[in-house]
Each structure stands twice: as structure tokens, then as C-alpha cells.
């Protein structure tokens, strides 16, 4: 599964390892080399999730929610999940005092199937953006771009721009793959770019 790189992220991506009843914590950044702290494990299990955007059901694929979880352990987490109560979540966490990890976007990409492009059944991009971001685009390997709709969201008094996007089959071909997620400000200037990790 590709992971969007962010050198300042503290807890990165969350698939396949059971941590305190939540399928979470497969990859942990250097500052947490000893594992997820017990207070964060408990917070991931017990602290509420707030839905900030959604991915509608289509073509036989179930709908998904985009959730933000502000934890009592000092982390803010972004999740792609079937519901707010699901223990199966995909996403990651940053420290609350730096929710975007020094960037303008906090994003996560997940897919079902693969690893070859032809085997991918469902690929999704979720994220939250800083208030300065007015547009988010996905740059494809053929140079075209997909515009992502942003939704205003408020979590514990903090304002974000949230989004959830399901890639079309036409976006996942051997010769065309999503390469980067780009944030633009009100002048159209690029203020953040994060690679998706897809080959091609």
C-alpha cells in the first residue's frame, strides 16, 4: 500500500496490526520506535471520532467516512473507515500542536487489492487541509489533474478543509496512475505537494 510521505509525522499509517482493539499502528516513525505508547493505544480505542467528509457508495463499493480523532494523548488522527465505531481504520496521526506535520495537507491513501494496478479494486484518498488551502488536486502520471471537492469542517474549535475521494477505474491503469496530491492557495499558487507512492 502506498503511503504519503511526511518527514515530521509521528505515527504513520495504520493497517493490519491490532493495537488495543483497533487495527492500527503498523508503521511508526522514528520518534516512536519503541511502539505506540499505552496512553495513545487507549485513546485510539476510546476517544470519539468526528466525521468531516464522506465517500459515497458506488459501483458495488461501500461508502466510507473520513474521520478526525483528537486524542487525549496529544495526537490528532485522520481515518478512512466504514463508520465512527469501526475498529478497522486506515490512516495516521500527528501531534496536536502540529496537526499537518509542518505541511499544508494531512493526507492518507489506501487501496484494496493489488499490488499490481490491474488488481486494485478500490483506491481512496482522504485528508484535511489548512485554512489557506482553497483547492486540492491529484496529479496523474500523464500530466492531467483531478480536482477534489473540499468541505469545511470544525473539530474542537479548529477549522479545516476536509475531503474524501474514490479513484475511478480510468484513473488506475497501467499507463496512468496518481502521482501526487497538490494544495493550492487563493492565488492558484502551489503550497504543498505530496507523492502518492504509486509506481508508474
Rounded to whole angstroms, the Cα distance separating 144 from 163 reads 20
pLDDT 10s digits, 61-80: 999 999 999 999 999 999 99
- pTM of the predicted model as reported, rounded to 2 decimal places: 0.82
pLDDT 10s digits, 131-188: 999 999 999 999 999 999 999 998 878 899 999 999 988 888 777 889 999 999 999 9
Q: What are phi and psi of 14, to 5 degrees?
A: -135, 90
Q: In what order do the strands lie in the sheet with 50-55?
A: 27-28, 11-12, 90-95, 75-81, 64-70, 50-55
Question: Which helix (H) or strand (E) covers residue 42, if one does?
Answer: helix 38-46
Domain boundary assignment for the chain: 11-195
Q: How far does Cα 73 stand from its chain's mean position? A: 20
Which set of grid coordinates corresponds to residue 143? Answer: 500530466
Amino acid at each position: 500500500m502506498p503511503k504519503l510521505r511526511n518527514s515530521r509525522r509521528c505515527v504513520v499509517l495504520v493497517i493490519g496490526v491490532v493495537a488495543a482493539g483497533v487495527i492500527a499502528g503498523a508503521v511508526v516513525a522514528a520518534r516512536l520506535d519503541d511502539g505506540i505508547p499505552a496512553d495513545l493505544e487507549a485513546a485510539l480505542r476510546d476517544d470519539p471520532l468526528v466525521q468531516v467528509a464522506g465517500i459515497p457508495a458506488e459501483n458495488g463499493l461501500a461508502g466510507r467516512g473520513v474521520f478526525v480523532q483528537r486524542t487525549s494523548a496529544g495526537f490528532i488522527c485522520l481515518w478512512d473507515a466504514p463508520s465512527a465505531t469501526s475498529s478497522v481504520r486506515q490512516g495516521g496521526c500527528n501531534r496536536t500542536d502540529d496537526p499537518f506535520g509542518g505541511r499544508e495537507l494531512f493526507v492518507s491513501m489506501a487501496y484494496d487489492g493489488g499490488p499490481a494496478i490491474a488488481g486494485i479494486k478500490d483506491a481512496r484518498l482522504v485528508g484535511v487541509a489548512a485554512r489557506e488551502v482553497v483547492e486540492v488536486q491529484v496529479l496523474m502520471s500523464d500530466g492531467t489533474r483531478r480536482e477534489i471537492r473540499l468541505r469545511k469542517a470544525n473539530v474542537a474549535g479548529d477549522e479545516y478543509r476536509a475531503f474524501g475521494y474514490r479513484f475511478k477505474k480510468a484513473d488506475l491503469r497501467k499507463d496512468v496512475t496518481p502521482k501526487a496530491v497538490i494544495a493550492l492557495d487563493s492565488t492558484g499558487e502551489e503550497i504543498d505537494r505530496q507523492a502518492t507512492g504509486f509506481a508508474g
